[in-house]
Structure 1
Amino acid sequence: MTDRTDVLIYDTTLRDGTQGEKINFSAEEKVRIAQRLDEMGFHYIEGGWPGSNPKDMRFFELGKHIPFKNARLTAFGSTRRPNIKVENCANIQTLLAAETPAVTIFGKSWDLHVTDILTIPLEENLAMIHESIAYLKANGKEVIYDAEHFFDGYKKNRFYALQTIETAWKAGADFIVLCDTNGGTIPHELTVIVEYVRSFLPDAPLGIHVHNDGDLAVANSIAAVSAGATMVQGTINGYGERCGNADLIPIIANLQLKMNRWCLPDNSIRQLTNLSYYISDVANIPPQNSRPFVGRSAFTHKGGVHVSAILKNPAAYEHIRPELVGNEQRVLVSDLSGKSNIEYKARELGIDLGTEDAISTLIVQKIKIMEDEGYQFDAADGSLSLLIKKITGEFKEPFVLECFHVINAKTKNNPSLSQATIKIVVGNEEELTAAEGNGPVNALDNALRKALVKFYPQISEVHLVDFKVRTLEGADGTAAKVRVLLDSKDNEDVWSTIGVSTNVIEASWHALVDSIQYKLCKDKINKHHVGE
């Protein structure tokens, strides 16, 4: 632990992040997110634009009663409107009404926006900047000035762009934040510009606010810090308008773990993965497996050569230890696998392969044959576990299918009426059952459960959480093979199983059976084994 802070982290997930497609937080959700960011030690939390909508106004009302320990809650708005007195501007007054310790206002740095968008004289824009900042400072606020479109403005009219931030600094701004609003600046351009501003305003603390339209927001933010910026603005998971904002997760991780530029306490760095998933969950946006540092695939290894190497030294194919950011190492098994993958995965699944290489070799060969047929074991740990146990002799079938029949009918009052009949053998007992469902797979699932539950009551704990069907050879049309992936859960775990066939019902059956068998195997159900 240390009190040292080299770079201030300014989060705008609750304002700029919500401008992204499908991102929408309630006022109460914004409060929960703000509290979480505060607990982690973020320095500024931009809560929204209080003058723009009732929800943000309500958030700031709720925020007045929250004792933030680390962060300064910040209200966002614009400079005063053209050609009116600052004290008469509703936007400015709503910023004061939010009663936050800090406010952020943006103003125009690109002369094109002044003359062509606002259609006002360049001098009036400078007056808007100066009067707004001076007024907010006179009312006791910390003022962060966002120089909107600064980099585009600098490249088109350097003199005027510099004049706008000089005006903001002389008016009393506490931070001058340079914004790449259109997200099109290249890192080497940005570095040169930030260094020039650093020399132009040597006493002004600089911040950076970058959008990701060129897929360079993280790189540009880090480049700005190297060039002298001491505040980074961004969002969790890079949420934001168009292509998003700079993603604070990899920015923080790179700055602190790679560049020794202190941002957050060590224990907060170890929570970055959890934070990323938490924000994804509240936003109801599925997390991206490939997200750097915190994605499920960030420290996942599939190729046999890679796995063999990391078993000896993880640094061979991992740029940091995953636990530093709260992530974990994973190994996948596929047709690219070698014996190292199988041995690693078996240990992870608690399966003893013994000391003979022949077992691992046999498993690898079987997996490669099945993946050539359309299976995908890197997405189905449950089916993989069963396959390994079957090959090693650790698995005994808990039931045997005699037959099943599925009938699907469409009636006037019911668009999809499905019925399934199934006969299974458990030990020396036969069980014949029937069930209905809202589709053939659902009916088959219901019938299988109904047949098995009296033998294995634990099956009632299993719930289907996801069902995916993918056509493997689209050119074959309706005769193509399909891959069915099921995600199932009980009170403790989530597991995935797979089935492949030219018949979607048969593929679903294989995935369903693997799901049930995995559950029974996991719970070590040993009675009623066939042949006992």
Structure 2
Amino acid sequence: MTANSSSRKIDIYDTTLRDGSQGEGISFSVEDKVKIAKRLDAFGVDYIEGGWPGSNPKDIEFFDRMKSIPLKHAKLAAFGSTRRPTTTAETDPMLQQLLDAQTPVITFVGKSWDFHVTEALRIPLETNLEMIADTTRYLKSKGKEVIYDAEHFFDGYKRNPEYTSKCVAAALDAGCDVVALCDTNGGTLPNEISKIVSEIGARFPYGKFAIHTHNDAECGVANSLAAIEVGAIQVQGTINGLGERTGNANLTSIVPSLGLKLGYTLSCMPRMKELAELSNFIDEIANVPPKTWAAYVGRSAFAHKAGLHVDAMRKNSETYEHIDPILVGNERRILVSEHSGASTILEKVQRDNSDLRKDSPETKEILKQVARLEHEGYSFEGAEASFELLVKKATGNYRSLFELTGYRVIVERRGGDKEAITEATVKLRVNDQEVLTVAEGDGPVNALDSALRKALAEHYPDLADIRLTDFKVRVVNAKEGAAAKVRAIVDSADSSDTWSTIGVSTNIIDASWHALVDSIEYGLLRESARAGE
């Protein structure tokens, strides 16, 4: 291997569909796997490991489906293991299932730690070497690109480097294309990775090596980068680090680090701006809440809160950002809280209020209101629409759309009813008219939302395009028990955007009402602004 040539081409091997699906709570359907494979191919990864066709009917069906779905760039890999100790490669049914998948690449796992050979397989060490070599020769004879997944490589090397090296030699000498050096237990540290990969590369200068790490010591990404820097030509991992236990090496961190920071050549570089979108796509299909703090792609990755930071950012973004977020499809966000200074407020509002200055009375008033409201339990970090309404009121740009006269919510459950019945009454003044509406709903929030919409629909037809998409409640001061304040967050959307609003009260219905009103006002005011009213 040649080390430290930053223009080297590095292959990206994605195993989200196999290793990623082994994460707790992750279950991909066949249709899910097909969608993910297409998306990974479009992004530009070089290899897509689709699963183990010999292990379950779902993976067999997936590979059958993929026979009629051409990939534009990526090579599809089927995953299996060495032939069994009591068979030959030609007669092993599992290897035949791998070949039946008709993929251009076959990756097979084999033991490389003598402890596992003698204790898990309970076979002679020499027999394991024969299994690796025989499996490689047979698959190569069928015209396949073959990758040997050297399981527990680093643990084995640290304890018996001679035997682990013999396992690598068995695969390479039999014609293996790439040996994947696996930190299966995920406990190896970056300094060890660099040392061992360098040594194995020097020992086998004719070999090509991949790095496959797990994240049990929180070093999956660092270990992968360390191996590449000393000569590995392929990196294996999963999108968002999905995987068993604490997960696999996270490709959404590895890929931009390799391409944007270290200057390696990657096939996916032209699509790097789609990285955040890809990350969200995988989380959505996996039904996993996105990690807002995830490096590069998380919603908070380029979010700035402290006033001093924002002040510096306004002068030069490099003061607190290691890359331009646009490069990975993310965006800069300025958070508003009691820690905010005038610079934070200016950064947030000057797009719509270009005359606002740091020492303006309006700026001072906004800061004062934010501090007061956050003391009461408000948090504008996840409710930027409520903050924008606050700014409009402080700068004189707010136009009241309706005035609340009163509301009432009744929750009733009769003896024979299986579920409680919720009814909301809303009384408003709209355009100098008094409007009274009543609506039932699935719970108080839904009933209030329905009654409010009923009251406003005739006056604001644009309301039909605004919908509530999520509703969350969090206790602000849990020590107060049932008398604690609650924070209600309402997420809403129209045909072009999404936004969040907040309400706080000791009464959960009242908190929800404030968040609902903000949500609808914000959406309607946006529509008016678009129409130039």
Indicate the TM-score class for this superposition, using the shorter chain for normalisation: over 0.9
Q: What's the offset of the Cα at 1:525?
A: 7.7
How does the TM-score come out when normalised to structure 1?
Answer: 0.96
Letter in 1 for 2:117: V
Q: 1:142 to 1:323 in 2, by over 3 A?
A: same
Counterpart among 254, 277, 281 of residue 278 in structure 1: 281
Does the alignment pair 1:235 with 2:238? yes
For 1:354 and 1:344, locate their aligned partners in 2 and report how far apart those are by CA, in whole Å. 10
Letter in 1 for 2:315: K
Equivalent runs, 1:9-20 vs 2, <5 Å: 9-20=12-23
Q: What's the offset of the Cα at 1:236?
A: 0.8
Residues 346 and 356 of structure 2 are in contact (CA less than 8 Å); yes or no, is this contact kept in structure 1? no
Matching residue of 2:462: 458
Matching residue of 1:468: 472
Matching residue of 2:317: 314
Q: What's the offset of the Cα at 1:203?
A: 0.9
For 2:507 and 2:126, locate their aligned partners in 1 and report how far apart those are by CA, in whole Å. 72
The gaps in structure 2 that reach 5 residues or longer are 1-6
Q: What's the offset of the Cα at 1:432?
A: 1.2
Matching residue of 1:301: 304
SS of aligned partner of 1:318: coil
Letter in 2 for 1:434: V
For 1:96 and 1:291, locate their aligned partners in 2 and report how far apart those are by CA, in whole Å. 38
Does the alignment pair 1:224 with 2:234? no
Q: What's the offset of the Cα at 1:265?
A: 4.3
For 2:181 and 2:426, locate their aligned partners in 1 and report how far apart those are by CA, in whole Å. 67
Matching residue of 2:497: 493
Letter in 2 for 1:354: L
Between 33-42 and 250-259, the greater mean CA deviation after superposition: 33-42
Matching residue of 2:522: 518
Q: What's the offset of the Cα at 1:93?
A: 0.6
Matching residue of 2:446: 442
For 2:530 and 2:241, locate their aligned partners in 1 and report how far apart those are by CA, in whole Å. 49
Letter in 2 for 1:79: T
Deviation sequence 1:282-329 (CA, Å, 0-9, x none): 222222111111111111111111111111110000001111111111
Q: What's the offset of the Cα at 1:33?
A: 1.8
Q: What's the offset of the Cα at 1:68?
A: 2.1
For 2:354 and 2:434, locate their aligned partners in 1 and report how far apart those are by CA, in whole Å. 33
Q: What's the offset of the Cα at 1:353?
A: 4.9
Counterpart among 477, 482, 489 of residue 478 in structure 1: 482
Q: What's the offset of the Cα at 1:134?
A: 0.7
Matching residue of 1:180: 183
Does the alignment pair 1:131 with 2:134? yes
SS of aligned partner of 2:381: helix
Matching residue of 1:354: 356
Matching residue of 1:418: 422
Q: What's the offset of the Cα at 1:146?
A: 0.7
Q: What's the offset of the Cα at 1:459?
A: 1.7
For 2:526 and 2:423, locate their aligned partners in 1 and report how far apart those are by CA, in whole Å. 30
Poorly superposed stretches of 4+, deviation over 4 Å: none
Letter in 2 for 1:337: S
Percent of paired sites with the same residue: 51
Count of equivalent residues? 524
Residues 353 and 359 of structure 1 are in contact (CA less than 8 Å); yes or no, is this contact kept in structure 2? no
Q: What's the offset of the Cα at 1:69?
A: 2.6
Equivalent runs, 1:381-400 vs 2, <5 Å: 381-400=384-403
Equivalent runs, 1:65-104 vs 2, <5 Å: 65-104=68-107
Letter in 2 for 1:423: K
Residues 45 and 268 of structure 2 are in contact (CA less than 8 Å); yes or no, is this contact kept in structure 1? no
Residues 346 and 353 of structure 1 are in contact (CA less than 8 Å); yes or no, is this contact kept in structure 2? no
The gaps in structure 1 that reach 5 residues or longer are none
For 1:233 and 1:78, locate their aligned partners in 2 and report how far apart those are by CA, in whole Å. 17
Between 517-526 and 493-502, the greater mean CA deviation after superposition: 517-526
Letter in 2 for 1:327: N
Between 216-225 and 119-128, the greater mean CA deviation after superposition: 119-128
Residues 353 and 392 of structure 1 are in contact (CA less than 8 Å); yes or no, is this contact kept in structure 2? no
Counterpart among 211, 214, 218 of residue 217 in structure 2: 214
Letter in 1 for 2:307: G
Does the alignment pair 1:367 with 2:401? no
Letter in 2 for 1:27: V
Between 219-228 and 438-447, the greater mean CA deviation after superposition: 438-447
Q: 1:24 to 1:131 in 2, by over 3 A?
A: same
Letter in 1 for 2:356: G
Residues 77 and 92 of structure 1 are in contact (CA less than 8 Å); yes or no, is this contact kept in structure 2? yes
Letter in 2 for 1:506: D
Deviation sequence 1:69-110 (CA, Å, 0-9, x none): 321111110000111122111111111111111110010011
Q: What's the offset of the Cα at 1:50?
A: 0.8
Residues 5 and 264 of structure 1 are in contact (CA less than 8 Å); yes or no, is this contact kept in structure 2? no
SS of aligned partner of 1:80: coil
For 1:170 and 1:346, locate their aligned partners in 2 and report how far apart those are by CA, in whole Å. 65
Letter in 2 for 1:479: A
